[in-house]
Structure 1
Amino acid sequence: MKKITKLALLALLLGTSPLVASSDYALTTKYKLFNDMKLAQNQQSLIVKMNQSLDSNKIDIKLLKHSKKQFTQVLLGLTSGNRNYKLRGTGIPMIKTKLLEVQTLWNSELKVLSRIESGNKNTEKAIAGLNKLMIKMSEAVIMYNKSYKRYKQSSMLSSIVNRHLGEKSALALNNIK
């Protein structure tokens, strides 16, 4: 069962983690949520690290604590901004709603992980919770990717329109002579 869970988790991660924007450098520098999108994808990696830590024979408490702290800070930054991580926070309702769902799941998962840190060796519930968290985080990453695609499309359309209008105005000036 754990092996199936791992494979499903990795497939989900690999399905959403590649950056859509890797070849669009000019657009990525202008897209305001690009860093947020990258760190949302990194959140998935943190979930995998925590899951692997819990699934191993000896739980790495130090890694678990560090991952929990980082995940919490970035998650709060994704919803409302964080200067340390250069996160703007999103105002896009669909993404914000999904991040709030992730935050709700994360708050309940924090309690379970805290019990494990204090000596409880029953990791099944924590792993199941992290799997649910991964699904919600993946949905948020998909929404960031959709937002970027929309931004990219509108930028391209704007460029085409501006180019077309620029040619027409140049032609109009030539006709006036």
Structure 2
Amino acid sequence: MPTPERTSIAEIVAAAREILELEGLAGLTMAAVAERVGVRAPSLYKRVGSRDELIGLAADATVRELSSRLGALDRGEPRTAIAAMAHGFRAFAREKPAGYHLVFALGPEATRPRTESLTQATEVLTRTIARLVGPDDALEAARLFTAWAHGFVGMELSGAFRMGGDVDRAFDYGIDHLVASLTPMAP
């Protein structure tokens, strides 16, 4: 009779993401995840081949969650939806900063989110922006939005805004001006 399964990939990934947020990437070890899901470390290797693969699974789950959250904000008038997505992007990064950094980190291919998941996340934003700028400029506009939002959020998470002022106001200012720059002018 085969041994019953004591954990699943979903449980392993959930545990990895929890550890990542609590202890950072250095704390995300096979042993820590095995302990969290109630198996011995060698048993974990039956499901996940390496630590790099584990990191990649966590990064992929993170980008899929972000994509889902952004997709839920794609409603109504495009300028409003884009602003909502910017706020959703920022809120996600503040809630899950280690996972957020992992999504954008350079590293071995095994540690990166799957291309399919990144494509899906990009399509959510590109589809919304296309409603504002049209299909010909949608990809470029989505890249502009992502670069601005990631730059702002990355600086915020690293504590780089030290000159005083209201960072929330600065974020709203950036959204307003970015969206205005994408809005086609009336003939």
Instruction: Provide the TM-score with structure 1 as the length reference.
Output: 0.31
Instruction: Provide the TM-score with structure 2 as the length reference.
Output: 0.29
Select the structure of larger CA radius of gyration: 1
- Larger relative contact order, structure 1 or 2 (CA cutoff 8 Å, min sep 6): 1
